[in-house]
Amino acid sequence: MKTVLIGVAVALVLIAIFFVNQDKEVDDSVYTIDESRVVAQNWIKQESPTYTYDGENLSLQQETVVEEGSEYKFVFSFESRSGGYGDRTDLMTTQAITPHEIRVVVLNNEVIEAINDDVYDEIRDILVEDVEESDTETTSINVYFVKVNNGQEEVVSVNREVENVAAIAREALKALIQGPSSEEINDGFSTSINENVVIQRLEIENGIAYVDFNETLQENVAGSATVMAIREQIEKTLMQFETVNEVVISIDGDVDSILQP
């Protein structure tokens, strides 16, 4: 009788665990408007070429539920300190406070659309009217990974095809952060750059590329060889472009005390 009762108890526990796990699975597939709003805000601050160049005063104006639990639309306003769109580092711009309104669609916590003033596609970094034409246009760039040759680590180039956009240096850095492909890893390539590194700002001025990352760039980084590889990967990736002769790396605005071995 005692054995039967124990068996029943175990069965009840297993059933309870099953239903708890089922509930967790359902909960994991649901995305709230609050979560999606944060995703949209962070994307604008970290990825929108127009905002990251000289945007400020980001403010939510409107939010709409497209599909409860998955898709939401947000409208934000912000100001730029100069006219135009995208990364205007090498362009002549009007120095005047310029208001913008950006529409962002978030699906399953991922930004799938970001249109600024109904004329500029912030994801593609191009005017909306040029999107269809640009979809078939790519350009070849290099990213730099680590590979062991004759027993020594070297930073060597790997070719990438990316969208042919105005902010091509940022696209190159994004490709670098994504790391080597599975095939490249099998061929012996690796990267010293951590996953989930965020490019917080990239400006090119008078031949100098100023690039600021989040703290993830130096998390758990130890040893002078690793630090040198990180710097070299970033510097070589940026200095392939004619407009860049020097690279200044910072983390959260700090240049001097970062990436210490």
Least confident range of 10-14, 19-23, 30-34, 196-200: 19-23
Q: For residues 120 and 203, state if they share a domain.
A: no
Packed helices 224-239 and 168-178: angle between N→C axes, nearest 10 degrees: 150
Mean pLDDT of the chain: 84
Task: Kindly report, residue by residue over 129-182, the tens digit of the pLDDT.
Answer: 776 554 547 788 999 999 988 878 899 999 988 877 767 888 899 999 999 999
Is residue 56 situated within a structural domain? Answer: yes
- Residue 133: its pLDDT value, please? 53
- 168 and 141 Cβ atoms separated by less than 8 Å: yes
Of 89, 118, 134, the residue that ends a domain is 134
Instruction: Please give the tally of structural domains in the chain.
Output: 2
Least confident range of 7-21, 103-117, 190-204, 210-224: 7-21
**Average pLDDT of the residues in 83-97:** 82
The DSSP code sequence of 25-43 is HHHHT---HHHHHHHHHHH
Is residue 51 situated within a structural domain? Answer: yes
Q: For residues 123 and 103, state if they share a domain.
A: yes
Pick from 192, 258, 194: nearest CA to 229: 192
The CB-based long-range contact list for 167-171 (8 Å cut-off, 24+ gap) reads 167/49, 167/86, 167/87, 167/125, 167/202, 168/139, 168/141, 168/241, 169/202, 169/204, 169/209, 169/238, 169/241, 169/243, 169/244, 170/49, 170/87, 170/125, 170/199, 170/202, 171/141
Q: For residues 103 and 145, state if they share a domain.
A: no
Of 134, 152, 177, the residue that ends a domain is 134
Is residue 7 situated within a structural domain? Answer: no
On the question of pLDDT at 23 being above 50, the answer is no
Q: For residues 215 and 243, state if they share a domain.
A: yes
Of 71, 99, 134, the residue that ends a domain is 134
The CATH number that applies at residue 241 is 3.30.300
Q: For residues 57 and 74, state if they share a domain.
A: yes
Q: For residues 44 and 120, state if they share a domain.
A: yes
Q: For residues 150 and 221, state if they share a domain.
A: yes
Model pTM?
0.51
Q: How far apart are CA 61 and CA 58, in angstroms?
A: 10
Task: Kindly report, residue by residue over 200-243, the tens digit of the pLDDT.
Answer: 888 888 889 899 999 999 888 888 889 999 999 999 999 998 88
Task: Kindly report, residue by residue over 35-64, the tens digit of the pLDDT.
Answer: 999 999 999 999 999 999 999 999 999 999
> Residue 117's domain spans which residues?
33-134
Is residue 24 situated within a structural domain? Answer: no
- 109 and 129 Cβ atoms separated by less than 8 Å: no
